[in-house]
Amino acid sequence: MKNLLKYMLMTGGLVMASNSVGTKENYVSIPPVVATVNDSLAKSRLEKTVGFLEDEDLGAPEFDSIPALAKFKLRSLNCSRYVNMAAQKHYGEVDSFPQRDAWNMRYASKIVAKLKTKNKYDEMEGLREEGILRPGMVLGVYNPFSIYRNTLDETGHKAKYTHVLLYVGKDKEGKLLFDHQWNNKTMRVDFDWMKENYLNPVEVLDPLGRISSMIIGKNGYEKMPNP
């Protein structure tokens, strides 16, 4: 859902809800008390989480609040475990993130987007602007030089990707940033780094399908208000 907090502040009544692919779906009734929240306080909290926009701009936030890079002591080549732990630390528990190898995470997640265009990096930029790509989602990429490139997944098919990264948001310079474990190193990268390392984006995942139907609050992801 795009900028739900901003709409809540502006309307105090009915706001448009969107499903995970950005289509208009229904209306959600927000308790009238929302409209009475002190504007400056609400704006301050919103700035800390998603970056505040001017009232006339109702698209995706201009930039996000980027968390510090999470670091853990993990064995080498453990990217899926890193993504799991970093997501829990940054965004709070969303029930549970899938405990699977990178190429099997798609079977315990909602597939938000299958990247099929010629320029998949531009395609991801578009998903972000539409509010579909959200912090806490996972990007599956295929590395043609990976030792796992011929691995079979849990269904017996060739793995669609060999590595996963955690999307953490868009910075003030306009870059989409991703955290991951690369061999034994933990790092934050952008599209330029991915291109230099020949990573081919394949799918965007919403672990367990929870993030698309939640909002980011001061304590991480929170359930949307009931109608």
Residue 11 falls inside a structural domain: yes
Same domain, 114 and 37: no
Per cent of the chain over pLDDT 90 is 42
- Could you list the residue range(s) of the whole structural domain that residue 200 is in? 79-213
**Maximum average pLDDT range among 8-17, 31-40, 68-77, 134-143:** 134-143
pLDDT in tens, 147-201: 999 999 999 999 999 999 999 999 999 999 999 999 889 999 999 999 999 999 9
Same domain, 151 and 208: yes
Under the banding of pLDDT at 50, 70 and 90, the label for residue 146 is very high
Query: Do 224 and 154 touch, CB atoms closer than 8 A?
Result: no
Distance set, CA 200 to CA 136, 142, 183 (Å): 20, 5, 17
Same domain, 25 and 129: no
Same domain, 100 and 167: yes
The number of folded domains in the chain is 2
Q: Which of 171, 174, 218, 169 lies closest to 44, judged by CA?
A: 218
Residue 220 falls inside a structural domain: no
Residue 59 falls inside a structural domain: yes
Dihedral (C-alpha) 48, 136, 126, 117: value to the nearest 10 degrees?
160
Which residues are CB-contacts of 180 (< 8 A; sequence separation ≥ 6)?
79, 82, 83, 163, 164, 165, 166, 186, 187, 189
Residue 70 falls inside a structural domain: no
Same domain, 103 and 197: yes
- The last residue of one of the domains, among 36, 65, 94, is 65
Rounded to whole angstroms, the Cα distance separating 48 from 41 reads: 11
- The last residue of one of the domains, among 12, 36, 65, is 65
pLDDT in tens, 103-114: 998 988 889 999
Same domain, 21 and 107: no
Residue 73 falls inside a structural domain: no
Same domain, 100 and 180: yes
Count of Cβ atoms closer than 10 Å to residue 203 Cβ: 20
Which residues are CB-contacts of 199 (< 8 A; sequence separation ≥ 6)?
141, 142, 143, 163
Q: Which of 43, 96, 109 lies closest to 221, judged by CA?
A: 96
Same domain, 103 and 39: no
Same domain, 42 and 84: no
Q: What pTM, to 2 d.p., does this model score? A: 0.69
DSSP code of residue 107: G
Rounded to whole angstroms, the Cα distance separating 212 from 186 reads: 26
Residue 226 falls inside a structural domain: no
- Show the beta-strand stretches assigned E in the chain: 14-18, 24-29, 109-114, 138-142, 163-170, 176-182, 185-189, 200-207, 214-217, 220-223
Identify the sign of the CA torsion 44, 47, 50, 56.
positive
Residue 27, token pair as written in the block? 């209306």
Residue 199 falls inside a structural domain: yes
- Average pLDDT of span 114-122: 92
